[in-house]
Amino acid sequence: MLDPSFTHFGVVRALLDLGSLTFEPLVMQTIVTEPAKKADRKVVRKNSTDLGRCKTILKGYIPVIQGCRVVFAEIPTGAQSARAAFSFGVATMAVAACPVPVIQVQPTETKMATVGTKTASKEEMIEWAVATYPNAPWLREERKGKNHGRILNSNEHMADALAVGHAGVLTDQFQQLLPLMRQALMKAA
């Protein structure tokens, strides 16, 4: 499951029960890429930094999804500036480079399938994901060297990736594929 972005690319590898259409998260991560620091901007070209960030995204998510049968990915929309349009293009290209068949999900489908409103906030998305997957390896504030504190906002992109999977199983594209997947599973058993 992918929540693609140029700066924070959420990726979750999960098992999907084809009967109940429920997920068991196995790997959850956010690939973070950052623009060049101000001091480096005069030494390194911006487009070189951008290229490096793109490579980081591909090197980060492709090994996680290798061997998966299908990937659910949210396709970004609605850029308000040239840089946002560039970032959406990078995210879309990263999904296009996916070596696994992709089920496309729209951002509004993701929010409606989980929180039930098209305008869900990142906090609401995180709350939904943590409530739905309380045993998942969420990032938490450390207290006395232990990871048992409050849930961090940096879980946003992993939460969104899980939500993309929930929306993905509802798409017509996946529903048409589902009988074939179930049939293949029965033959393998």
Q: Considering the entire predicted model, what is its pTM?
A: 0.90
* Structural domains in the chain, sorted by start: 2-188 (3.30.420.10)
Whole-number pLDDT of residue 145: 62
Residue appearing with tokens 């429920």: 22
pLDDT digits (tens, 9 = 90+) for 59-70: 999 999 999 999
Mean pLDDT for the chain? 91
Whole-number pLDDT of residue 40: 60
